[in-house]
Amino acid sequence: MTHAARARRPLSRLAAGAATAVLLLAGCTGAAPDGEGPADPDGSVSSVPSTDGPALEEIGTSAAQDLGTDPAEDPAYAEYYAQEIDWGACDGVEGEDLECGTVTVPLVWNDPQAGDIDLAVGRLPASGERTGSLVTNPGGPGGSGVNFLESATLMISAEVRAAYDVVGFDPRGVNRSAGVECLDDEETDEYLAATAEPGSAEAEELSEKWGARIAEACEAHSGEELPYLDTYSAARDMDVLRAALGSEQLDYLGYSYGTYLGASYADLYPGRVGRFVLDGAMDPSLTMNEIAAGQAEGFEHAVEAFLADCLERDAACPFTGTEEEAKQQLTDFFAALDESPLDSGDPERPVTGAMARTVVTTLLYEDALWRLGREALTDAMKGDGAQLLNIADLSSEREPDGSYRTNSTFAIMAVNCLDHPGLADDDLVQQEAERLEEEFPTFGAMLGGDGCTHWPVPPLREPGPIAAEGAGPIVVIGTTGDPATPYAWAENLSAQLDDAVLLTFEGNGHTAYGRSGGCIEEQVDAYLLQGTVPEDGMTCGA
What letter represents residue 407's amino acid? Answer: N
Specify whether 420 is catalytic.
no
Q: What topology does CATH give the domain 60-171+226-285+473-541? A: Rossmann fold (3.40.50)
Write a three-state SS string for 60-80.
CCCCCCCCCCCHHHCHHHHHH
Q: Which of 256, 396, 408, 516 is catalytic?
A: 256
Q: For position 52, what pLDDT does the model report?
A: 61
Tell me the pLDDT tens digit for each residue of 129-173: 999 999 999 999 999 999 999 999 999 999 999 999 999 999 999
Tell me the pLDDT tens digit for each residue of 36-65: 233 333 333 333 334 467 899 999 999 999
SS3 275: strand
14-53 per-residue burial string, b: 16 or more CB within 10 A, e: under 16? bbbbbbbbbbbbbbbbbbbbeeebeebbeeeeeebeeeee
C-alpha–C-alpha distance, residues 226 and 244, integer Å: 25
C-alpha–C-alpha distance, residues 161 and 100, integer Å: 17
Q: Which of 5-14, 245-254, 273-282 has the lowest mean pLDDT?
A: 5-14
Q: For position 449, what pLDDT does the model report?
A: 62
CB 126 within 8 A of CB 263: no
Q: For position 450, what pLDDT does the model report?
A: 63
Where does residue 283 fall: left (phi above 0), alpha (psi -120 to 50 degrees), or beta otherwise? beta
CB 507 within 8 A of CB 301: no
Q: Helices in 467-518 by DSSP H: which ranges?
A: 487-496
Specify whether 283 is catalytic.
no
Q: Which of 482, 494, 516, 525 is catalytic?
A: 482
Rounded average pLDDT over 285-313: 96
Q: Which of 3, 420, 454, 510 is catalytic?
A: 510
C-alpha–C-alpha distance, residues 367 and 373, integer Å: 10
CB atoms under 10 Å from CB of 190, counted, come to 13
Specify whether 256 is catalytic.
yes
Task: Please give the DSSP secondary-structure letter assigned to residue 456.
Answer: S
* Domain residue limits, the chain: 60-171+226-285+473-541, 288-396
Query: What DSSP assignment string belongs to 90-153?
Result: -SS---TT-EEEEEEEESSTT-TTS-EEEEEEEEE--SSS--EEEEEE--TTT--HHHHGGGHH
Q: 212 vs 451, which has greater pLDDT?
A: 212
Tell me the pLDDT tens digit for each residue of 354-412: 999 999 999 999 999 999 999 999 999 999 999 999 999 999 999 999 999 999 999 99
Bridge partners, residue 255, by sequence: 279
C-alpha–C-alpha distance, residues 442 and 446, integer Å: 9
Q: For position 472, what pLDDT does the model report?
A: 82
% of residues, the chain, pLDDT over 70: 90
